[in-house]
């Protein structure tokens, strides 16, 4: 049983290297370290040198996991922001979200047209570099998070009275239509 611990530990290390998410890399590494620690301490003559190093690496990874969890908690959207983002972007694919985020990051929001038209525009060479370096590795939920924050900040920078008037004036439209206009900067007060 103890002999298999080192093999399972190495498999966990292998899976951690194959992943892209830093949190999962560290969690899998900790699992491997625990099994390695078990292997080295349960030998007929315990190997204290590797055991001490495994404990050191466990402490370091435990601290880093805690930091990552705190950071992710701070990056979470509020319920209101989540509802707004889902209403505005629910029908877009990951590639469309990637294109949209690249365009709205590269261009001034007031110069952009509707979300659908932005998604259909070709990226310039500079925009493709931005997409590939900054955004290509993000998951769909991370892209949604960034786009929602971009839209939310555009709303906050506007005049609150203007937004409330528009909300009352546009009662027949869906919230997705209104948020799309705000995101593109096409809504006027």
Mind listing the pLDDT tens digit for each residue in 18-60?
988 899 999 999 999 999 999 999 999 999 999 999 999 999 9
**HEC sequence for 106-118:** HCCHHHCCCHHHH
Calculate helix-pair angle for 22-41, 2-18, nearest 10 degrees.
160
Give the tens place of pLDDT for each residue, 128-146: 998 898 888 888 888 889 8
For residues 44 and 71, what is the distance between their CA atoms, to the nearest angstrom? Answer: 43
pTM of the model: 0.61
């Amino acid at each position: 049983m103890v002999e298999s611990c080192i093999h399972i530990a190495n498999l966990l290390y292998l899976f951690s290297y194959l992943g892209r998410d830093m949190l999962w890399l560290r969690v899998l590494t900790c699992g491997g370290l625990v099994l390695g620690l078990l292997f080295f301490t349960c030998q007929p003559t315990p190997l204290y040198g590797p055991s001490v190093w495994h404990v050191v690496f466990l402490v370091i990874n435990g601290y880093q996991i805690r930091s990552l969890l705190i950071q992710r908690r701070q990056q979470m959207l509020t319920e209101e922001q989540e509802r707004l983002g889902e209403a505005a972007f629910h029908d877009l694919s990951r590639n469309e979200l990637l294109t949209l985020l690249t365009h709205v990051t590269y261009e001034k929001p007031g110069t952009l047209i509707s979300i659908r038209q932005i998604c259909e525009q070709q990226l310039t060479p500079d925009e493709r570099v931005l997409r590939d370096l900054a955004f290509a590795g993000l998951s769909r939920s991370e892209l949604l998070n960034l786009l929602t924050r971009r839209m939310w900040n555009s709303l906050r920078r506007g005049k609150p009275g203007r937004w409330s008037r528009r909300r009352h004036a546009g009662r027949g439209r869906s919230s997705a239509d209104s948020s799309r206009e705000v995101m593109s900067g096409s809504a006027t007060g």
